[in-house]
């Protein structure tokens, strides 16, 4: 077989896996309708929750408007894919500059009022990420497992059903 064909096929399969990972992520966030508007801070943990794509995606807030007199701020949110492509996710409006500054320092912005404008949808995000990943050679996602099960290390017992059993002194 031609090596370019194999490379294109491998890249297409990889994009399919990436799409499935993104869909699973949004479903875990409670999105059963991918055309529903997204509140941008909800997906701040995207890179941590999809470790296979942690080096490919990043959600970053930036300050659009600060009004110290009314103690309010408007943050814009961007999704960077592979550090070179950006998608605007929307704006969030926050009251309390001191608490917002503390949240930004901690790396997790939460808002009680959940007021957002100019939002996008999970469908548009998935399409954008997949388009960028498939167009770049560096978009290939390494899917090799990072952590081996305990049984392969020779310690403990491993149950593929997901339960670990501890040793007990029962019956001895």
Q: What is the pLDDT of residues 39-98, one digit of tens each?
A: 888 888 898 898 888 888 999 999 888 999 998 888 899 999 988 899 999 998 888 888
pLDDT of amino acid 28:
92
Q: What residue numbers bound the domain in which 76 lies?
A: 3-143
Q: Is residue 150 part of a domain?
A: no
Q: Is residue 164 part of a domain?
A: no
Q: Is residue 126 part of a domain?
A: yes
- List the structure tokens of 51: 């470790």
Q: Is residue 154 part of a domain?
A: no
pTM, 2 dp: 0.71
What are the DSSP E strand ranges found in 10-146?
57-67, 72-81, 85-95, 116-117
pLDDT of amino acid 15:
81
Q: What is the pLDDT of residues 101-153, one digit of tens each?
A: 888 888 778 766 677 788 889 999 999 999 998 887 666 666 555 554 455 45
Q: Is residue 166 part of a domain?
A: no
Confidence class of residue 6 from pLDDT cuts 50, 70 and 90?
low
Q: Report which of 79, 75, 56, 34 is spatially closest to residue 141, judged by C-alpha positions.
A: 56
Q: Is residue 83 part of a domain?
A: yes
pLDDT of 172 > 50? The answer is: no
pLDDT of amino acid 160:
44
Q: Is residue 161 part of a domain?
A: no
Confidence class of residue 7 from pLDDT cuts 50, 70 and 90?
low
Question: In whole angstroms, how far apart are CA 69 and each of 73, 121, 122?
Answer: 11, 33, 35
Confidence class of residue 27 from pLDDT cuts 50, 70 and 90?
very high
Q: How many domains does the chain have?
A: 1
Q: Is residue 167 part of a domain?
A: no
Identify the residue with better confidence: 100 or 137: 100
CB-based contact 81:132 (threshold 8 Å): yes
């Amino acid at each position: 077989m031609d090596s370019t064909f194999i490379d294109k096929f491998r890249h297409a399969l990889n994009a399919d896996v990436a799409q499935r990972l993104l869909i699973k992520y949004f479903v875990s966030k409670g999105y059963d309708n991918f055309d529903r508007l997204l509140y941008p801070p909800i997906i701040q943990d995207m890179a941590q929750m999809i470790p296979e794509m942690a080096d490919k995606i990043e959600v970053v807030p930036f300050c659009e408007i600060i009004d110290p007199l009314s103690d309010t701020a408007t943050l814009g949110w961007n999704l960077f894919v592979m550090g070179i492509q950006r998608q605007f996710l929307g704006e969030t409006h926050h009251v309390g500059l001191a608490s917002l500054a503390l949240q930004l320092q901690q790396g997790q912005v939460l808002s009680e009022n959940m007021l957002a404008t100019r939002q996008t949808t999970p469908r548009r995000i998935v399409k954008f990420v997949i388009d960028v990943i498939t167009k770049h050679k560096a978009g290939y996602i390494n899917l090799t497992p990072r952590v081996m099960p305990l049984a392969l290390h020779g310690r403990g017992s491993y149950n593929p059903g997901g339960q670990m059993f501890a040793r007990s002194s029962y019956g001895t």
